[in-house]
Amino acid sequence: MKPVIFGLSGPVLTADEAAFFADAEPVGHILFGRNIVDRAQLRSLTDSLRALAGHDDLAILIDQEGGPVARMKPPEWPAFPAGPVFDRLYDIAPISAIQASRANGQALGLMLAEVGVTVNCAPLLDVARPGTTAAITSRAFGRDPMRVAALGRAMLDGLAATGIVGVVKHMPGHGRTPVDSHHALPTVTADEAALAIDIEPFRTLNQAPMGMTSHIVYEAWDADRPATLSPIVIEQVIRGTIGFDGLLMTDDIDMKALSGTAADKAAGAIAAGCDVVLDCWARMDEMAAIADRLEEIAPVSRARLDRAMAGRAAAQGDFAELVARRDALLALV
């Protein structure tokens, strides 16, 4: 098994992809809008991935946060609110906001479980600040780290109640930069004392089953390398100060914050201490180069993967009831 999560080119698994994935044995797959048509098609696609892998607990990921980040869209699926909606409710009714976030996460989880998705790349635990890029503020749970952690934990718990594994992101925090790492490499100049605010939600939720790195340079920790490629940030900050021992995946290595070939970036991330590389765009030449370059997944990384996937419970809850409960609470704002 190779320590990489690969994307797919379209709504069905092609013959070339099936042959390649059977040989490479990636840890899992991630789905995007190009892979999604409707419920029946998506369930058929995820079933085909499980059949190819030969086991039911395959990591099949999606970014379904709600708001601007949603791969499963109306009219086939309902729209879900993003983090700022729960942040506003927290201003007037913290307990209600936490209850709403949990109900929202559980409803999301039921929607994902129905179509065979097993991992949701959420919640986002970045602490927003004045000047933070809109790519984060449009999704964040707010500016207070305790609030972000509370709402994030509620979402994680809701997902877990349906057997969906959550991924906390973007470690060790994307809230202190006006630059979107999809387009350029951000650099954070704050000192270590200030950065303690950014990592607080991740420390609070350090028992999360999976986490995702940020492609950001933090000068206080490593002025030369972004977190994804920095053994200092990964070992001393994420594994050390934060205390996270779940499966650590990269953010998409195709983002413009990183430079070099796909294989170089993948190898660099694994060498730095990431457990798994996320390569989203299903370019066969790049996927083949990554698979050729990477060794088999390390035993400690395999153990983290197995632990995360083995902890999944059977889906619980009624979708309509959960949505109604969430909406009644959000109506308080």
What are the helix (H) ranges across the chain? 15-24, 39-53, 83-92, 94-114, 134-137, 145-160, 192-204, 231, 262-272, 284-293, 299-310, 319-330
Give the DSSP letter string of 196-209: HHHHHHHHHTTT-S
Among the options 251, 252, 275, 279, which is catalytic? 251
DSSP assigned state of 233: I
From 157, 182, 254, 264, active-site residue:
182
CA of residue 57 relative to chain centroid, distance: 17
Whether 87 is catalytic is no
Give the Cα separation of 115 and 137 in Å (integer).
29
Task: Decide: helix, strand or coil at residue 232.
Answer: helix
Tokens of 108: 């999301």
Residues 6 or more apart whose CB falls under 8 angstroms from that of 159 comprise 105, 106, 108, 109, 120, 122, 165, 166
Nearest to 272 by CA among 207, 228, 214: 228
182 is catalytic: yes
Would you state the structure tokens that stand for residue 102, as one six-digit string? 């949990």
Return all residues near 190 (Cβ < 8 A) that are at least 6 apart.
Answer: 176, 198, 218, 220
The catalytic site residues sit at: 182, 251
